[in-house]
């Protein structure tokens, strides 16, 4: 497989007199193969938008390597720009223009054939309202217009930051169908999202970022399999004892996620160890079941140490990345 997007060791540091040094990207790696729908996941402030803006030449990185379609950036940006369609954060459109006028102008500026406007309006399901002014559009309709504008030049690589933002469930499903269709026609799609159930349905592969570093990557099923091993659900006779149980297990080195009526443990070799540890605390389990994890629980486990956005960070994440580097993986 060939890589459409490659990032190695990308660093971006913001400095301010008040807040000191903030490492938005701290040696970040990413690789996306041709024809994939790739999910780019991470908590608020983990570095997704910074990565995408850096790729598009809007931010200058401190160091690291980036390539799109095999061409090194930022040097080759003018050469590859025509093959990359992107929306990063909410794009702004002229409120008094219709969607058709907006896309018509963009097509003209990009020297694209006029009929492409109707094609993309059809693709994103906006054709019926295309003559109305943008200021009368709902959030979801504006989002569709943004995707239409990114699709105009029929790019080889489509980059979408939060494309499901503002879409209703029907709209999300349509967007999912569209992403599939585009990738079946050979387009590579990178999308960031916080809707993890959606990402699990839509994406072939994912990259998970936390504190500016990659903590997991690879085909979705591999990432899930790597984290399903040793995942156990524990219920206790008394729900009120869950915090004490979580404490005891955490102290024993087990990774614990607390749910309202049970605990989800990961990295458990022998379930018997769990029941023994809890019995030593005078706590008795009523259920101990191996579980297959979903992307949301993997995400929460891997990004659990992420700070509140805006908080100064000085956490040494090296141990975590070593461990996570072994998860997922692209094979040969």
Ligand X SMILES: Nc1ncnc2c1ncn2[C@@H]1O[C@H](COP(=O)(O)OP(=O)(O)OP(=O)(O)O)[C@@H](O)[C@H]1O
Summarize as ranges the residues that interact with ligand X (CB under 6 A). 14, 22, 24, 42, 44-50, 309-310
Kindly tell me which of 234 and 302 has the beta carbon lying closer to ligand X.
302
Q: Which of 152, 83, 104 is nearest to 124 (CA)?
A: 152
Kindly tell me which of 7 and 265 has the beta carbon lying closer to ligand X.
7
Cα gap 50→208, rounded to integer Å: 14
DSSP notation for 289-310: EE----HHHHHHHHTTTPPPTT
DSSP 188: E
Minimal distance, residue 299 CB to ligand X, in Å: 12
The entry of ligand X, Mg ion, none near residue 87 (CB within 5 to 8 angstroms by kind) is none
Kindly tell me which of 51 and 102 has the beta carbon lying closer to ligand X.
51
Minimal distance, residue 207 CB to ligand X, in Å: 12
Residue nearest to Mg ion (CB): 49
Identify the three-state secondary structure at position 30: strand
Kindly tell me which of 38 and 262 has the beta carbon lying closer to Mg ion.
38
The entry of ligand X, Mg ion, none near residue 42 (CB within 5 to 8 angstroms by kind) is ligand X
Q: Kindly give the pairing relationship between strand 188-192 and strand 205-210.
A: unpaired
Kindly tell me which of 44 and 108 has the beta carbon lying closer to Mg ion.
44
Minimal distance, residue 309 CB to ligand X, in Å: 6
Minimal distance, residue 205 CB to ligand X, in Å: 18
Q: Is there a contact between 278 and 245 (Cβ–Cβ < 8 Å)?
A: yes
Regarding 193 and contact with Mg ion (CB under 5 A), the answer is no
Minimal distance, residue 89 CB to ligand X, in Å: 7
The tokens describing 25, both together, are 């990207």
Per CB under 5 A, contacts with Mg ion among 40-79 are 48-49
The entry of Mg ion, ligand X, none near residue 44 (CB within 5 to 8 angstroms by kind) is ligand X
The entry of Mg ion, ligand X, none near residue 186 (CB within 5 to 8 angstroms by kind) is none
Kindly tell me which of 15 and 96 has the beta carbon lying closer to ligand X.
15
The entry of ligand X, Mg ion, none near residue 155 (CB within 5 to 8 angstroms by kind) is none
Q: Is there a contact between 233 and 289 (Cβ–Cβ < 8 Å)?
A: yes
Size of the site for Mg ion (CB under 5 A): 2
The continuous run of DSSP H or E covering 37 comes out as strand 37-41
Cα gap 55→73, rounded to integer Å: 7
Minimal distance, residue 203 CB to ligand X, in Å: 17
Q: Kindly give the pairing relationship between strand 3-16 and strand 63-68.
A: antiparallel
- Strands (DSSP E) contained in 162-317 are 188-192, 205-210, 213-219, 232-236, 255-258, 263-266, 285-290
Q: Which residues are CB-contacts of 167 (< 8 A; sequence separation ≥ 6)? A: 140, 143, 175
The entry of ligand X, Mg ion, none near residue 50 (CB within 5 to 8 angstroms by kind) is ligand X
Residue in this structure with the two tokens 């003559």, named with its chain if needed = 131
Minimal distance, residue 321 CB to ligand X, in Å: 17
Judged by the rule CB under 5 A, the positions of this chain that interact with Mg ion are 48-49
């Amino acid at each position: 497989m060939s890589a459409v997007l490659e990032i190695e060791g990308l660093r971006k540091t913001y400095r301010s007199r008040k807040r000191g040094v903030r490492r938005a990207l701290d040696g970040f790696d990413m690789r996306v193969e041709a024809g994939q729908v790739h999910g780019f996941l991470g908590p608020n402030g983990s570095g997704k938008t910074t990565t995408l803006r850096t790729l598009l030449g809007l931010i200058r990185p401190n160091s690291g390597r980036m390539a799109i379609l095999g061409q090194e950036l930022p040097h080759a940006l003018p050469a590859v720009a025509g093959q990359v369609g992107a929306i990063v954060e909410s794009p702004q459109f002229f409120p008094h223009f219709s969607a058709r006028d907006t896309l018509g102008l963009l097509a003209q500026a990009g020297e694209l054939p006029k009929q492409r406007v109707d094609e993309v309006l059809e693709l994103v399901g906006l054709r019926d309202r295309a003559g109305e002014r943008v200021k009368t559009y709902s959030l979801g309709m504006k989002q569709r217009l943004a995707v239409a504008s990114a699709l105009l030049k029929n790019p080889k690589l489509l980059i979408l930051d939060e494309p499901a933002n503002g879409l209703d469930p029907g709209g999300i499903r349509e967007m999912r169908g569209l992403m599939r269709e585009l990738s079946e026609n050979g387009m590579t799609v990178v999308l960031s999202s916080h809707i993890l159930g959606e990402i699990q349905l839509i994406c072939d592969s994912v990259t998970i970022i936390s504190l500016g570093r990659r903590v997991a990557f690879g085909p979705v099923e591999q990432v899930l399999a790597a984290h399903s091993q040793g995942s156990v659900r524990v219920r206790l006779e008394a729900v009120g004892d869950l915090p004490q149980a979580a404490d005891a297990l955490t102290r024993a080195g087990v990774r614990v996620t607390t749910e309202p009526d049970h605990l989800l443990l990961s990295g458990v070799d022998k379930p018997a160890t769990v029941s023994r540890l809890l019995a030593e605390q005078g706590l008795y389990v009523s259920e101990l079941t191996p579980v297959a994890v979903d992307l949301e629980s993997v995400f929460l486990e891997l990004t659990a140490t992420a700070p509140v956005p805006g908080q100064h960070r000085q956490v040494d994440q090296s141990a975590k990345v070593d461990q996570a580097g072994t998860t997922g993986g692209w094979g040969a």
